[in-house]
A and B are shown apart, each in its own frame.
Chain A
Amino acid sequence: MLQIRDIDCYYGEAQVLKSFSLAAEPGEILCLLGRNGAGKTTALKAIMGLVRSRRGSIVLDGTELTSLAPHEVPRRGIGYVPQGRRLFSDATVMENLRVGLMTRHSGPQVLEHVLSLFPILRERLGQRAGTMSGGEQQMLAMARALCIDPRILLLDEPTEGLMPSMIERIRQSVLDLKAHGVTTILVEQRVDAVLPVADRVAFVENGRVTGVEPAALLAADRRLIDRYVGI
């Protein structure tokens, strides 16, 4: 279980997260929903240790993550798909996957499993990542994170700028991961993008979580969504 309690994060002197608290249950898909600049991406970066919190705690199955060096966080089994994918675009597809495999010394069976989830990548292993289409790059970003063999996967706007068919493919992948027991924290701006896959939705505004509701409840009663974000 991942438990975030009262963290404060800053960029310089600007406070981005204010007493941010959240808990993700094992195997669930938890979506962070909020406007641009609400603090969703910073929350994911804080979990990864890429932005340090000045207060509060982030605990994964009893381990305090804020006391670890940033490079030790992914070794605890947290995979990260950053916004804009941030592939190593000059490296090949296989080299990008190798970076993921190295993180926790994952074996060849992990690579096989990942390639079975994204078969198109198997045909492109020698291709430079930067020369792939946007959808293929998103698949590679997810595959690279899955090569860690994560217990928790953090996805930052994975459907941004993708064609509907590709969005559906990504959604299906997230649901496949849930079936394999992976906890997913998914950041999105659009409510329609999260309701079909989410178990729960956390609304983020001005660096705080303003409420957490079951996705099924939100789908059944749209007025609840209006109450939180007015969309």
Chain B
Amino acid sequence: MSFFPHLLLALLEGTVAAAVLALSALGLSLVFGVMRIVNVAHGEFFMLGAMLAWWIAKMVPGGPLAGFLAALMLAPALVGLLAFATERLLLRRIGYDPEATIVATIGLMFVIQQLALSVFGADAKPVAAPFTYRIAFPWFGFSGYKLFVVAASVALLLGAWWVLARTRFGLIMRVTQFDRETATAFGIPVNQVYAAVFVIGAALVAVSAVLIVPIQQAHYLMGLDPLLMSFIVVIIGGLGSIRGSVLAALIIGLADGVISMFFTPTLASIIATLAVALVLVVRPQGLFGVPAR
């Protein structure tokens, strides 16, 4: 293949990565932005979403499409339930203290990881794509499912934007993020908002896992990469900002796709890390972040 087809393929793969990354980073960004805590177990919610997707798809009869649709509904709900229990039994009890939360979620990360290993085993788990359709370019064929992943991610991101910008609950989340004390003084039950945001953040990353698992097999150690990449996106994009997360995910995803294709994946990681360092120095609140009160 010549240069242009290579570039097109890299951009397509990068777009798929960016779409899924934006979704998983949005979950982390909401939690980070509204609750002002770092959820180190975010990647394990991703892994659990993928593992549950494999298990549900295997259990549901009726073929890959039925299994995928069941997984898309049930896996985020189950991960959300775990997040709800975590918020109630762990985070609320330590008063959402930022430092204690890091330690607690590191512990949770290992607990979820080891439980997944014990229950599901160490093998990689393949999940069949819900449909097989190949788009034929003159130089190569490209998976139609991957483009579906992009479309589904875009739809979910638009939905999240609509909720945040246009609904009562979105307004409550935004004002809680901006100033929790004043929000309380206007009758907003901040702890309940926190619980809802934590559940939504976990469910979003689980959805991204269900979408990606037919492309990338489920494995109990798969949570680390999405965690690191989500942090990179959140830091560059700005806390709690959807457009920041989307833009940063696009930059990171496309750059990763192109640099990995023409050079090496290691160089792509180095550049992403340098970009984070640059943003932290020049604009610590990120491209679209708002400093909290």
Q: A88-B178, A91-B174, A91-B175 are in contact. Are A102 and B186 (CB under 8 A)?
A: yes
For residue B185, CB closer than 8 A to chain A, the reply is yes
Asked if residues A71 and B175 are in contact (CB atoms below 8 Å), the reply is no
In this complex, the interface size class of chain B, counting residues with CB under 8 Å from chain A, is 10 to 19
Choose from A71, A86, A88, A102 the contact partner of B190 (Cβ within 8 Å): A71
Choose from B168, B175, B186 the contact partner of A148 (Cβ within 8 Å): B186
For residue B188, CB closer than 8 A to chain A, the reply is yes
- Taking CB atoms and an 8 Å cut-off, the chain B residues in 168-216 that contact chain A are 168, 171-172, 174-175, 178-179, 181-190
For residue A95, CB closer than 8 A to chain B, the reply is yes
Which of A74-82, A107-115, A210-218 contacts its partner? A74-82
Measured CA separation A99–B185 after assembly (Å): 10
Q: A95-B171, A98-B171, A102-B168 are in contact. Are A88 and B182 (CB under 8 A)?
A: yes
- Taking CB atoms and an 8 Å cut-off, the chain A residues in 87-111 that contact chain B are 88-91, 95, 98-100, 102-104
Residues of A within 8 Å of B, CB-based: how many?
A: 26
Asked if residues B184 and A50 are in contact (CB atoms below 8 Å), the reply is yes
Measured CA separation A73–B293 after assembly (Å): 22
Q: A69-B189, A71-B189, A86-B293 are in contact. Are A99 and B184 (CB under 8 A)?
A: no
Residues of A within 8 A of B190 (CB): 71
The listed residue with most B CB atoms (<10 A of its CB), out of A71, A74, A95, A102, is A71
Asked if residues A103 and B186 are in contact (CB atoms below 8 Å), the reply is yes
Q: In whole Å, how far is A80's beta carbon from the nearest beta carbon of chain B?
A: 5
Asked if residues B185 and A50 are in contact (CB atoms below 8 Å), the reply is yes
Asked if residues B187 and A102 are in contact (CB atoms below 8 Å), the reply is yes
The listed residue with most B CB atoms (<10 A of its CB), out of A49, A75, A98, A99, is A99
Q: Is the interface of B mostly helix, strand, loop or mixed?
A: helix
* Interface membership of chain A positions 27-50, coded 1 if the CB is closer than 8 angstroms to chain B and 0 otherwise: 000000000000000000000111
- Taking CB atoms and an 8 Å cut-off, the chain A residues in 54-77 that contact chain B are 69-75
For residue B290, CB closer than 8 A to chain A, the reply is yes
Measured CA separation A70–B190 after assembly (Å): 10
- Taking CB atoms and an 8 Å cut-off, the chain A residues in 148-186 that contact chain B are 148
Q: A90-B290, A91-B171, A91-B174 are in contact. Are A99 and B179 (CB under 8 A)?
A: no
Q: In whole Å, how far is B279's beta carbon from the nearest beta carbon of chain A?
A: 20
Q: A86-B293, A102-B168 are in contact. Are A71 and B174 (CB under 8 A)?
A: no
Q: In whole Å, how far is B170's beta carbon from the nearest beta carbon of chain A?
A: 10
Asked if residues B171 and A71 are in contact (CB atoms below 8 Å), the reply is no
Residues of B within 8 A of A72 (CB): 187
Asked if residues A99 and B186 are in contact (CB atoms below 8 Å), the reply is yes
Closest to B188 in A: A71
Measured CA separation A144–B172 after assembly (Å): 15
Q: In whole Å, how far is B168's beta carbon from the nearest beta carbon of chain A?
A: 7
Measured CA separation A89–B189 after assembly (Å): 20
Q: Which 7 A-B pairs have the closest CB atoms?
A: A103-B187, A74-B187, A86-B182, A71-B189, A80-B185, A88-B175, A70-B184
Subset of 11 A-B contacts with CB under 8 Å: A48-B184, A50-B185, A70-B185, A71-B187, A72-B187, A73-B185, A75-B187, A86-B182, A88-B179, A91-B171, A91-B178
Known: A50-B181, A104-B187. 15 other contacts (CB 8 A): A49-B184, A50-B184, A71-B190, A88-B178, A89-B178, A90-B178, A90-B290, A91-B178, A95-B175, A99-B175, A99-B186, A99-B188, A102-B172, A103-B186, A148-B187
